[in-house]
Amino acid sequence: MNFRIYQIDAFTNRVFAGNPAAVVVLDEWLDDQTLQAIAVENNLAETAFVIPDPECSKLRWFTPVVEVDLCGHATLATAYILFQQHYCEKTVLRFESRGGNLAVSRNDDVLFLDFPSRPGSPVIVDSSLIETLGITPEFAVLARDLMVVLADEQDVREFTPDFSAIKSLDAFALIVTARGEEVDFVSRFFAPGAGVPEDPVTGSAHCTLIPYWANRLGKTKLSARQLSSRGGDLTCELRGDRVLIGGKVVEYMRGEIRVGEAS
């Protein structure tokens, strides 16, 4: 069986930056074992599998270890391919996913994810959490991910993760964030339990970041930067119980994969 595959750098305007995602276009679902095997073979933080449909495309995401319920950069990458290759006349695409019904719109060369807000609940910053993280956060909240707020951008840059300790947290991943120097806020994202030690740019993390910083800064439109080695820039907006997460994308590679049913 042959399938079209693309590799897209998301949340950036140049190759070798942002977050790379693979997008595999299918006519129908392969079995889960084969989908997971393809993600392992790609060895990227996320591989998106999409069944295009003009009304509502079906979308799933896999890390090299697990299927996840929400992924921003791979959704952005998928939308780019569908806009370019399938639905050139459309300005909005809709997706059915484990994370609910999603939409991606485009405005010139910027794509905007329409995702659910995940504000989270406050977590007590006690000695156990401080020891696990090796830092003392000013504040912490728990949604899908544990988000901890540090004093400033430099603290986020200099944070040294203990991946074994992060795996022990009762959360999918760890978000470390602070007020930005040139943007409204900065962050880093760690999901070693899902096979992603540090993710370059994480759209889904901003479902928790955006409501927090919108409330703290008193505004609904925000600029953000993820401080990974590749780096990425995001345009953010809080709209009630939804968030808009905008960014540019660049196509790096396209080709064809040949697979059989996983044994």
Give the residue numbers marked as catalytic: 46
Unique residue bearing structure tokens 């959704």: 75
Burial class of residue 189 in the structure, from the number of CB atoms within 10 Å of its CB (0-12 exposed, 13-18 middle, 19+ buried):
buried
84's enclosing H/E stretch is helix 72-85
Cα-only R_g, the chain:
18
Report the alpha-carbon distance of residue 163 to residue 101 in Å, rounded.
32
Report the alpha-carbon distance of residue 185 to residue 10 in Å, rounded.
19
Residues 6+ apart with CB under 8 A from 89: none
CB neighbours of residue 31 within 10 Å: 10
Q: Supply φ then ψ for residue 103, to 5 degrees.
A: -140, 150
* Contact between residue 137 and residue 120 where contact means Cβ atoms under 8 Å apart: no
Give the tokens for residue 31: 């079995």
